[in-house]
Amino acid sequence: MNRETAVHVPMEVEELETEPITLNIGPQHPSTHGVFRMKVQLQGETIVALEPILGYLHRCQEKLAEGHTYLQSIPYTDRLDYICSMTNNHAYVLAVEKLAGIEVPRRAECIRVIMDELTRLLNHALAVGFLLNDMGAWLTPVQYGLREREKILDLFEMASGSRMMCNYMRFGGVAHDLPEGFMPLLRKVVAEFPGFIDEYERFLTTNEILLSRCKYVGILPPDRAIAYGVTGPVLRASGVPYDVRKVDRYSLYGEIDFDVPIGTVGDVYDRYLVRIYEMRQSVRILEQAIRMLEETPPGDIQSKVPRSLKPPIGEAYGRIESPKGELGFYLVSDGSEKPYRWRVRAPSFVNLTPLEEMCRGHKVADIVLILGSIDITMAEVDR
């Protein structure tokens, strides 16, 4: 085609402007990880503004807890982030133990660390699987994650009697000792898990589609991540090695040797990679925790705590590194058997705050991916 024929293209076409449009994503949408709505302003396919709308799952759990005794609230914590009931239990009992000054036997601490790290493994296996879901690899990758999760849920069922709503930890320890047959199965799961991570990585880490979708998408610079109070793998992907297990050294984490993996760019790909490396570290922690448990002589798994617990007047803030970030409970006691104030600092909620900043300038299809990379549970966001 020479220059003369090309002139026939009407010049106005290039100058056509598009009207900004408003698009609702959710509240019922498979990519929103629960009932969550995003009001998105688009210029063509590019995101100009994004407003998250929450509250569809709000049940005012903090008010409910004011009507319950301290002990009665443990099963309610299972239902915050229902993927990670064990870590929710741990954060809550930690806060109550701080409030009432309760000691925990070493054997129970070993069991808690084991349960926490198993929860981290299953959460990250699912988070990576669902990220691939959001990328369009519908349900196949997540099946592998679910397969591994089932093995861990078997362990939870043996210990607590329930697969998801474990309700396992108690003030001053755990509800039951580990049953016979638990340790051999645990050792098997821990020994086989690195094979699964390798399998996942072989398919994903250098996958060209994954790289082109995730690299340099949804970047959150470290300064912004700190300002927004983002925690967990999202913060570490931005290059800030802040880990409550290292800072607070709660439970037995002060004695355990592990590394804190960090990203360099802070994009979706780094969040994926940080989760993969955190799973490898969790396996390391589990190996040490198993050894510690075996070295601890059998004995109490719970210290003596009165059935109707009345903590002294005061307040406590207990926090742990849950798989999604810093999970904290702020409790105020008026000396009665019910808490005066029961507050949950949910990582999913705070980590969502910079969503608009991460999405602006990207394409519509990237919203789903960026949201997936934050790894939220709406039950915890809305409470």
Partner 1 sequence: MTDAEWIALRDRMARALPAGAFEEGPADGVIHVQPRSLLYVGRYLLETEGFDYLSNVTGVDWLAEGEFEVVYHLYAMRRGARIARGEDPGGPLGPLVLKVRVPRERPVVPSVTSLWPSALWQEREVYDLMGIRFEGHPDLRRIYLWDEYEDHPLRKDYAPKED
Q: Which residues form the interface with partner 1 (CB under 8 A)?
A: 54-55, 58, 60, 62-63, 226-230, 240-243, 246-247, 259-260, 314-315, 317, 319, 326, 328, 330, 332, 340-341, 343, 345, 349-350, 352-354, 382
Pick 58 or 215: Cβ nearer partner 1: 58
DSSP secondary structure code for residue 307 in this structure: S
Pick 270 or 326: Cβ nearer partner 1: 326
Distance CA 247, CA 281 (A): 17
List, in sequence order, the alpha helices (H) in the chain.
3-6, 12-15, 61-66, 74-78, 85-100, 106-135, 140-160, 182-204, 208-214, 222-227, 233-237, 244-247, 268-295, 347-352, 355-359, 364-374, 378-382
Structure tokens at 208: 């060209």
Q: Kindly state the smallest distance separating residue 53's Cβ from partner 1, in Å.
A: 9
Q: Kindly state the smallest distance separating residue 353's Cβ from partner 1, in Å.
A: 5
Q: Kindly state the smallest distance separating residue 277's Cβ from partner 1, in Å.
A: 13
Q: Kindly state the smallest distance separating residue 240's Cβ from partner 1, in Å.
A: 5
Contact 73, 263 (CB under 8 A): no
Rg (Cα) of the chain, in Å, rounded?
23
Pick 193 or 253: Cβ nearer partner 1: 253
Q: Kindly state the smallest distance separating residue 50's Cβ from partner 1, in Å.
A: 13
Pick 164 or 226: Cβ nearer partner 1: 226
Pick 3 or 63: Cβ nearer partner 1: 63
Q: Integer distance in angstroms from the first to the last C-alpha of the chain?
A: 63
Q: Kindly state the smallest distance separating residue 56's Cβ from partner 1, in Å.
A: 9
Q: Is the peptide bond before 27 cis (omega within 30 degrees of 0)?
A: yes
363 to 30, 45, 138, 218: CA distances (angstroms): 18, 5, 20, 10
Pick 344 or 367: Cβ nearer partner 1: 344
3-state secondary structure at position 245: helix
